Amino acid sequence: MTLLSIIIPNYNYGRFADRLFGSIAAQTVSLAEVEIIFVDDGSSDDSREQAGKWAGRIDCSNFLILTPPRSGRPGPVRNHGLDQASGRYLLCFDPDDELQPDFLEKSINLLEATPKISVVFSDYREVSPEKTFVRVLPDFNPLHLRTQNTVASAAVYRRELWDAGVRYRENTAYEDWDYWVQCLMAGGKFRRLPLPLYVHHIHELNFSYQAEKEDGVAKAMIVLNNPGFFHDSVVRWASDHLYRRAHAPSFRRGYIPTAEELSMLTTYRP
């Protein structure tokens, strides 16, 4: 078994390949026990050629280029790569982002030193055409996941969670959020590294823009996918929202209402 598998789901992001793979090659740890699994979702650009170029440059334990049938969503593409992974630790990383040089070293060292921790995530630098800033996340609290996703998508975690049956689901555009809820329910313990260890680039093709368009339904499906994690009234809200009932609004983007907020919404005040 290798130490770490990096799964990279890709669709027409070949133009970012040098930045992405360059950041992996520049890691402060040896890649001799790291495998890279590049999963291309039917790209029409030069993505596969770019990955093949880097496969000959990076001195890692294995470099796979997989080409499953077109899915159109990153979740199934990630699942396909994860299913082929042999690493003790797993990382899904978006091809338009980049790792800071000590990302792997700090993440793996924490997991190696703290067996009770299952998932390690960090702050990150967010870069857009308008501004650049550090996105500082809160220390992990399981209650946060009931209302919003406070775990970075680029997190390193133990393969035991994957082996326990955690999977990216296709029925919600907030795939990461749903995945972390599943990890938590499978017994995962989370730890935040208070350092900006990767760079997230904002542009017009980010899948997160699609998620924003599907916000209400995407949140409702997280609740219905994991009903044991949410209050019964929140589960009812999710079902009612899918039926477009007036008493079950979407609430603000990226936020699932609490039972108390739903109670206030339905309380009659003459």
Over residues 19-28, mean pLDDT: 98
- pLDDT > 60? residue 207: no
Q: What φ, ψ does residue 172 adopt, rounded to 5°?
A: -140, 135
Band (pLDDT 50/70/90 cuts) for residue 206 is low
Could you give the angle at which helices 47-55 and 17-25 cross, rounded to 10 degrees? 20
- pLDDT band for position 268 (cuts 50, 70, 90): very low
pLDDT, averaged across the chain:
94
Confidence of residue 200 (pLDDT cuts 50, 70, 90): very high
Percent of the chain predicted with pLDDT > 70? 95
Q: Per residue in 73-114, pLDDT tens?
A: 999 999 999 999 999 999 999 999 999 999 999 999 999 999
Q: Determine the average pLDDT of the residues in 156-176.
A: 97
Please report the pLDDT score of residue 270 as a whole number.
44
Lowest mean pLDDT among 1-5, 145-149, 153-157, 218-222: 1-5
pLDDT band at 212 (very low <50, low <70, confident <90, very high): confident
pLDDT of 173 reads: 93
**CA dihedral for 35, 206, 98, 124, sign (positive or negative):** negative
Q: Tell me the C-alpha distance between 120 and 204, whole Å.
A: 28
**Quick check: 269 pLDDT over 60?**
no
| CA distances in angstroms from 22 to 11, 18, 94, 113, 136, listed in the order given | 19, 5, 14, 28, 25
Mean pLDDT in residue range 125-133 = 93
